[in-house]
Structure 1
Amino acid sequence: MKIGLTGGIATGKSTVSRMLVSRGALLIDADVLAREVMEPGHPVLEAVADRFGRDMLLPDGTLNRKKLGAHIFAHPEERLALNAITHPAIRAETKRRIEEYETNYPEKLVVVDIPLLYESGQGSLYETIMVVYVPREVQLMRLIERDGLDGAEAEARLSSQMDIEQKKQLADIVIDNSRGLAETEEQIERFWKSCGLS
């Protein structure tokens, strides 16, 4: 069985994925895959440097994430160009790992954590989608505290994603992560048992 896990920035997807993994789920994290394709020597990093400029690389050949991030958020249309380079490679590796896990561990739950699952049109690839939810004002506060952003920067980041209320409406399963870890654990445990997982 596989599920798509998503939510919004600073809603707590990593917390929920850790809870699922601690119960025996296998995790494929799109953010981790996105970092892997940006490693020195990977053709995706080369393509990004060719498109956005060699000055997006640090002297050691690694990606200057802060600089590229600032560029993307200042020029939203450039996000499309970046996605066109990175998304096909990330999707191909995600598919490969899903197939590998389903073949080798058919009894396990496979959780595919994709922050922009709906935005990237991947909702139809999963029979079940779990959305990690907190109200937008909580999301904004957590983002400011976590990333040290000012209010305007945090708002810009939230506005670059589908509104969390929309994601909540589209979800098959909603995990409300605004009431504390114990409550989140209880929701995960109920989900786990409802799937017949032990």
Structure 2
Amino acid sequence: MDSIEKQWYVLHTYSGYENKVKNNLESRTETMNMTDYIYRVVVPENEVTTVKDGEEKTIIENDFPGYVLVEMVMSDEAWFVVRNTPGVTGFVGSHGGGSKPTPLLPDEVENLMSRMGITARREEKLELELGETINIVAGPFAGMQGIVTALDEEKQQLSVNVELFGRETPTELAYDDVDKLEEV
């Protein structure tokens, strides 16, 4: 049963390998020409500030060790690519024997994304241009500004240079994570 609509699914991975699985899956998506089926891969994590020895330290903490979220169209080919990515042990909601998994409910997705500071997909299309300065509204760079260096309209992603510690740092963001600068 193939789905023609992109939905969010949960992958089970080896604990501690979530970011490696994310990178592997994003790489496989590109090399196996699955960008029309596999859209976003997210490791559910949050910034946590702790005080140790009188010093404040911010670390990234994994909310659900051993799990990765993937937004995809469930086709046989996409299922095969994701399922056979190194470090993936299976889909949550799959009953084995090659059965397709159950997607997350929209409320579950919205709850998880808001916990991570990622906004839901906006309805209106954001028109951006190369070289444009934008506000980052979600994720680890929220509250900062960046300069658009590349746009991927199809995947609704963009590359942005953010000034961090006096250096320009490139980062990949979803269109939903940015807003145009307010006209003054």
TM-score computed with the length of structure 2 as normaliser: 0.25
Greater RCO, CA 8 A, separation 6+: 1
Between Structure 1 and Structure 2, which shows a larger proportion of strand residues? 2
TM-score computed with the length of structure 1 as normaliser: 0.24
